[in-house]
Amino acid sequence: MQKALLVVLILLFGCSTGNKITRRDLTGAQKLVGLEFSKTEQETMLGYLADNRAGYDSMRKLKLDYSLVPASYFDPRPDHFKLKVRQKDSDWKLPDQVILPSTDEDIAFLNVAELGALLKSGKLTSTRLTKIYLERLKKYDTLQAVVTITETLALQQAAAADAELAEGLYKGPLHGIPYGIKDLFAVPGYPTTWGAEPYEKQVINETATVVKKLEEAGAVLVAKLTSGALARGDVWFGGQTKNPWDLKQGASGSSAGSASATAAGLVAFSIGTETLGSILAPSARCGATGLRPTFGAVSREGAMSLSWSMDKAGPICRTAQDCAIVFEAIRGQGEKEMDRSVVNYSFAFHPPKDLKGYKIGYFKQLFERDTTRTRAANDAMLETMKSLGAELHEIRMPDSVHFNAFDIILRAEAGAFFDELVREHRDRLLSEQDESSRANSLRQSRFISAVEYLQAYRHRKLLIEKFNKILAPYDFVVGPENGRNLSLVTNLTGHPAMAIPSGFDKQGRPTSFALIGNLYDEGPMLEAAYLLQQATPHEEKHPDFFRK
């Protein structure tokens, strides 16, 4: 095991005398792994290392397509796990009567359920609604939330939706609704830039499964929205995506464009992705409602990968009700599914009158330790839950977990996906090159050994068992959006989670509240979020600058 560790490091670290690997190389590499081998042991390794280096060089001669995934697949299910079956049909709680607002600005900020009612009744056409959003996407470019406006495609899809609705062909509540998608997903004829300079002109002429599913639901794609460069942060090759509530502040995680555009009323809803916080963090920052589904709930076919075992796609909307509607449309396998991590399972959205029927856990210690700007809002949300009949049961984060080890998994998998980028030194084209940049993360990933990567996976398995044991007795649990290690843990275990608006801080910026569901069981969490939003006004408030 120790020798295998050095094999990887030496082959990737480089040699002091051209391609020949020497004992001096071994001696230096030992410092990276905290191991020591004798002179004799080092001498016996040299031929072995040379053979492995030849194997690496052989593999590098073949260019791998971005869509090719490893032959192993991450399964987040703990031992003896059983899928819950939800047999009820969903009740979306769609409004019967919606009055058409008198201004385009007010129309733009309606939620999906309200817009769907207007389109179905004929009070509003998809073409008019699409033009409203197209105009706003162009007008509010100060947000730097848009990479490409798909105007031609959008107007074609809107016209088709209007014709179908006029003929009585109603596909459901997303029929004719304009949306935006994070620019990690492929759409034929348009750039798929991954937010990064090396891929600024990249066009992938295939349709991502999520886009296909939304087409089938009758939704209208109006824009490809910004991703932080290679899914990191809110900085892309065009600048920094802004928080619509405070234009001096970035929009946070890499689904920055999706959250920012949704909160600013530039799209009715959007699609984002998350590996380690990139749906929940920008949703929280921008005052949107974001759903990160269970790992494997939504196909990632046709999308850039950052971590094959951690990436998830999900909706960013104005309400939990909208998230449920969009999730129903995008979940599950596509017609010719290539993403083998996708699991088909039952889902139902059927909100009751109150929270009395749910068993709810809450991370009491995390809430009490929160001394940030969100503390007052968190306390208020907990009181709202109690007023709705909730009985909260204290739970704690799993103990004896080595959190520092887990980022190894993400960094190693990202390094493999962007292997060619780094070997060709095109990572130097990225605008951010500091210690915390994606470029630096990819470079250092070359020195993560396969042994430590697999050891991290074994620790991950322990975490999965411990965390599921904590959550399994409950329908869902709640915690502070910024709870220590909460995002890291739930992304590693694959659990679904939500960020919903919880109020505003003293500077008038949104605060957010987190809900976490059980694996492959988003329904109770979404239903509870819907009830909370029915009882509070936070999701109904919108940034003034974008109502002009």
User: Catalytic site residue 278?
Assistant: yes
Cα gap 542→499, rounded to integer Å: 16
Q: Which of 182, 224, 242, 466 is catalytic?
A: 182
Confidence of residue 18 (pLDDT cuts 50, 70, 90): low
Enumerate residues 6+ apart whose C-beta is below 8 A from 517. 294, 475, 476, 495, 496, 497, 498, 523, 524, 525, 526
- Residue 159, pLDDT above cutoff 70: yes
What amino acid is encoded at 298 in this protein? V
Specify the CATH class of 104-399+459-547 in words: alpha beta
What distances in angstroms separate CA 81 from CA 32, 74, 78, 384, one per listed residue? 39, 15, 6, 33
Predicted confidence at residue 407, as pLDDT, reads 87
Bridge partners for 392 per DSSP:
360
Decide if pLDDT at 4 tops 60.
no
Q: How far apart are CA 527 and CA 540, in angstroms?
A: 18
- Predicted TM-score of the model (pTM): 0.93
> What's the chain's average pLDDT?
93
Give me the pLDDT at residue 360, please.
98
Establish whether 121 is a catalytic residue.
no
120 is catalytic: no
pLDDT in tens, 181-224: 999 999 999 999 999 999 999 999 999 999 999 999 999 999 99
User: pLDDT digits over 432-469, tens only?
Assistant: 999 889 999 999 998 888 988 999 999 999 999 999 99
Active-site annotation holder among 255, 258, 260, 278: 278
* Amino acid type, 46: L
